[in-house]
Each structure stands twice: as structure tokens, then as C-alpha cells.
A and B are shown apart, each in its own frame.
Chain A
Amino acid sequence: MAKQYETVIGLEVHVELATKTKIFCSCSTQFGGAPNTHTCPVCTGMPGSLPVLNRQVVEYAMAIGLAANCEITRVCKFDRKNYFYPDNPQNYQISQLYLPIARNGYVEIGTGGTRKRVRIHEMHMEEDAGKLVHDEWDDTSLVDYNRSGVPLVEIVSEPDMRSADEVIAYLEKLRMIIQYLGASDCKLQEGSMRADVNLSVRETGAKEFGTRTEMKNLNSFKAIARAIEGERNRQIELLSEGKKVIQETRRWDDNKEASYAMRSKEDAQDYRYFPDPDLVPIIISDEWIERVKRNQPELRDEKLKRYKKEFDIPQYDAEIITASRHMAELFERASALCGKPKKVSNWLMVETMRLLKEKNMEPEELAFSPENLAGLIELAENGTINSSVAKEVFEKIFTDNVNPVEYTEKHGLKTVNDEKELLKVLEKVIAENPQAVVDYRGGKEKALGALVGQTMKAMKGKANPGMVNKKLREILQ
């Protein structure tokens, strides 16, 4: 029988923080400016310039650390990581090695009904590097320092994960926490969240870890899952052939679904870390921690509990809605406006999710206002519009955030409640469909449906189906 292997995975996750300005200067962190327009002497490493720490970075890092159950380091320092590369203007990165902001935390993840803790070894603050652009025509490289100095936190887990599912669950959990805190938008595709996977395999039951590799360039959950699968198989294959896994950094190519070695441990650089003498230690007081805790928004787990209690909506619905802080906010605000949380939840769970899927969008991208959703619910509930019209209007709200009252008014979508007009149409429908009338009178309930349909059609959908039904029954009795 073939040997059984277990996969052991630890993650290094980089998250770009959502501060308006960079970590050590007042340049904008905005993504996508013309090259080298969000720069100054500090973030381009000009001689004589000095870094000044942005306190908001510390607060975001503390908030994430606290939400991930970490101990906050009361006297923390920045260190210099020395290496030469042109995207790094000083040829050292200001990071934290000796006294990182947070240590010894954990997050809870759930996969397939089981729950487990993934421990966090440490979390530190650092600056991002610039971006190199290679000009193939000219055979030169250009550098854009707009990203240089954008604040990052790196979250280093313990090797506690055993499968791609657990890795994804862990990443989703981190992303949810950080998005809830407003500390980052955590977009993998845009690079505001990046994960490096440390993976090794060992025979099931073995005590010692195997030799690990580090996988870089993973920019979607799918790529991460594929890379884990690929690397696991590569390592198992090596071991079963009696070969050894080499400790190295590998780059994942998601198009080829294969990885290749970047550098081995032997050519690992000596970064010559030492405390940055340009920055003073950060002293974190109890008061500061308390203030950050107080300002922390309600996180997902607390929200879940509250929703079930306060709004009486099913667990499953509450989970879907709270999975995105933005959706949860839409829910709460729309519910407060119309006073019908169950209806709001329904619109989000059914129509919103359908359209998100159809348009391949993330819940964070929802652009309609809670006012318009609440307005729509009121129109539907007081019978101003019927349910099929409501769906039609909702699509317009979803795509263009239209005001439902104005929209139904403008397009004449209001249900016609005028009895005289309805009776006129009914007479006509009965006259034109003698067979259906005979069938209904002969006991075929279904025939009534056909008549209702004809009436709705004749009234261009603006009739109230309940009323049509009732009147028809009265007439045909």
C-alpha cells in the first residue's frame, strides 16, 4: 500500500493598509497615479531624508492584532532589512524583526462542520517597495516609487493548516476581520492582500516536519488552492522516488499550473537586520490599546449573534449577509429604514446574490443605497407595485441605484387598483376566452390561472394579481 502523507502549511500574508498617506511620509497611497507622482524625498530615499511614522499604521496594526487575539508588544521597534534592489530606494526596507507589534495570536476557522484554531506567530509593520517596469524594446528597466512606502502588515501563521480548504478558510477569515476593521480592502488581484505559502509534507503520524518550500506569486484563492495541490504532489512524488525536498523559494505560474525554483536556502541573503536609528521605539500604553479596542467596529462573530437575536433571521442568511461588512451595513441600514429586516434579508439573499453571481461581482462592490432598497420594499409591501414589477425595479436599483418611487412613477409601473378599469378588462378577457371559462366552471382550478395571466398581460403587468384573482372568482361564480 502506498504511504499516506499529510500536508503541513503555514502562511505569510501581506496586507496593504488603507491609510490615506504612506507609512513614513505624507505622500498619498492612492493606487494608479502616473509614475512617480506620489513621491517625495522620503519615499524615494533621497540623501538626508528621514522617516516619520504614521500613527494610523500602528492603530490599524494594533486593531488587527487585537482582533486576531494577539499580544501587543508594548515597546516595539522598527528594524532595517538590508538588501540591494532598485525597487527599494534606500536599499533597505524598514520592517520589524526583533520587536514586532503583535505576537502569539490565533483565529478560528471552520471547514466542513469542524472548527479549529490557526495560531499566529507574529505580525509586523513594514513599508512596501516600488514597482519595476521592464521596457523590452529598450532593454532597460524603469522604476515607479508611487507604491514605495505604502504601509503593510505581514501576518505570519504557525504551520497549523493541513489542506487547501483550511488555507482558504484562514485567508477568508483574515480578510473578513481586516475588512470589518476597515484596515484594508484586501483585494488579492490588486495586490492589497498577498499570501506566500510555506508547505511541507510528512508521512501521516510522523512527529517531525518535512523540509518546506515557500511559494510566491499567488494572486487568487483559486491559484492558492491549485498551487497547494501542485506543490503537495511534487513533494510527495520526490519523496516516494526516494529523493529529497530542497528548502527553496518557488514561484507559482498559474497559467502553466506549475512552479519553478527562484532561489535555494544556500543563496539566501543575509539581511543584516538592525534597529533603525532614525525611528524611536513605539511605546504602547494600556490607554492606547483601550482606545483602539473602543473604536473597533462590531466584528462578524458578534454581528452574527446579534442578527439572530435582534432580527430573527435564519443562521444561514445571517452568515451570508455578514460575510461582507458592506452587505451587513446595507442590511442594517435598510432594515432600520423600512422596519422589515426579513424582507431586506430576502432581497439580499435571493435577488442580490443572483445578480452578483450573474455579473461576477463581489458583495463589496454593491453600489446601491439602503434608502432605495428600503423604498422598494415599501412599494411592494403596500401594494403600489406587484412582485414581478418589484423584481424589475430592483434590477435597476442594483445596476443604477435608481430611486424606486421616481422610477415606477416615471415608467407607469404602479399597480392599477381602479375597479372599474379592471372590470372592463375582465369582461373582455372572459368574452375572449370562453373555453377557459367553461373549464373553470367545470372544476378545473388551473383554468383560472390562465385567465389571471391574460388579464395581467392585457394590463401590462400593472394589475394586482390578488385582486384579479378575487374579482374573477366573484364574476364566474
Chain B
Amino acid sequence: MTGKEIRSRVGGTLLTLLGVSVVVFIVLRALPGDAITAKLGTESGVLDHAQRQALEHYYGIDQPLLAQYFGWLRAVLSGNLGVSADSGQSVTSMLAAALPVTVELAVLATLLGAPAGVFLGVLAAARPGRPRDIGVQGAALLGLAIPEFVLGSVLVAVLASAFGYFPNAGAFVPLTESVSANLGQMIYPAAVLAVAFAAIVMRTTRSAYLEMARADFVRTAQGKGLAPSRVRLRHVLHNAGIPILTIIGIQFGYLLGGTVIVEQIFALPGVGRLLLNAILNHDYAVVQSTVLVIAAIFVLVNLVVDLLYRVLDPRVRIS
């Protein structure tokens, strides 16, 4: 990357993050209700004027909207993500607890789903139109069609009924505390997420593989007498890598954005639950800062994927 490219990339990233922060701020304020009605519900009608004013001051919603936005932005630029009006905890500490859970879940789901998807995609594309291809495509369709909440709920119910086991019975154990206990809690939700992940990767792999398999250089390689397995792996799959890598990157980014349903079913204290609760409670600082961090990570993942393109395809490097 040249210096100009880096500057352009950093500038674009900052503009993206600024845009995200503005959109999130506006959308949050456009929602009906506020932190007080979210907290008290119909009981908020019992508050007299002075009590309401005191609460508005407490939640920081007595300030003009512009002052609220720039106050938050100033704090973020100085490294302070704000304080949750709901719990009084710093958003940084809340994210520090929730983000590793979601990142680990996304990584595990990717580790399980991506190889499986690539393998199944190649398996299907190697015999297009044959029973194996139809079977794999059918399985992938099923994997996409079954909602995660169904798969997760069934898995939890079967584990409890058949094995007397509930994965998240105990307090959440971080990876740094105990690898086996942590993986015992994380493997099932990761497996649930991996099903749809693998299905999407499989479909992309299959179509990219089939497209490459028809390319002239593949025919040339076959004509030169290379072993079929070498042609498939080194020539076809290698050159089909970019769309596969792209879809893996995008899916990984989505997983980092929070996997609310799976986190709910398996009681994982990740970013999805953090964000959902914050939205329900109109906890503005938590929502704004969390979305900003997720957006930043998403941009970072995209950057890594772009860099990997250069590894996979020398033409990208040269251009």
C-alpha cells in the first residue's frame, strides 16, 4: 500500500465512522419514548414535573440534541466511551466484558463453518448436477432455511432431556480462565451459527469453483497432463479464493455485530445482548459507543480481507 492509499483508506474509515455515529444518534432520538419511559413504563405518569426534571438531568436528556451529540463525540475522541445511564458502569468496561465473548463466538463459528462450507462447496462442484451435488445443495438450503432460534432451542432441549446437560448453567467462564470450561459453553452456540455460515460459504464456493473450472487456464492445465486433484486445488480453488474470502469476511463481520438470538438462547453475555438491552432501555451512550466500536471492527475486518486479496492474487498487488 502506498502512503496515498493509506491516507485515503484512513480518511474513508473516519468518515464512515462519523456517518455511523450521526445516523445512530438520529435514529435513537427518533424512537418514541425516552430513558424515563423505558425504565418506568406507565409508572412514569406518576412522576410530578420536578421529579421528571431531576430524572431528565440524571439521564442527560435535558441538554439540547446538538450538545448531547458533541458532548458524546468529544468524550469518545478523548478515549472515553461514556457511562451507562442505566447501570452507572463505564461503557468501556461493559464492552471489555461483552466484546471478547462475541469475538470468540464469531471466531469459533468461522472456524467451524468456513472449512465445512468450502469442503462441501468443492464436494458439490466437483460433480455438478449429480446426486452428491443435489444432496449438498439441499443440505445447504436446509441450513439456511432453519432459523437459528429453532436450531438453538432444539439443541438446548435435546441436551437437557437426553443428556441432563445445560451448557450455560454456570456463570460464564472466560477463555483466559479455563479453556475447557469456556469451550464447553461456547461450542454449541458456535455450532448453531456455523450451520448457516457453512451453507452460505458452500454456495459461494460452489459457484466460484464452477466458474473457475470453465476457465481457459484450467483447460490448459488439464491438457498439460496435471493430476486432476492438483488442478482442482492449485488452479481452480486457489483462483476461486477471492469471492470465498469475501463472503467469509462479510459473514465474520456480521457475527461480530452481535448474535442476539443465539446469545439469548445460550445465555451468553455478548455484544448482541448488551446492545439489545441498551436499545430497549434507551441507554444512549451504550448504544452509540457500541455501534461505533462494531463499525470500527467491521471496517478493520474489511481491511484485513482486502490485504488478504493481495496474498491470494498477485494481480491485485500489482494494480
Task: Note whether A and B form a binding pair.
Answer: no
Q: List residues of B whose CB falls within 8 A of some A CB.
A: none
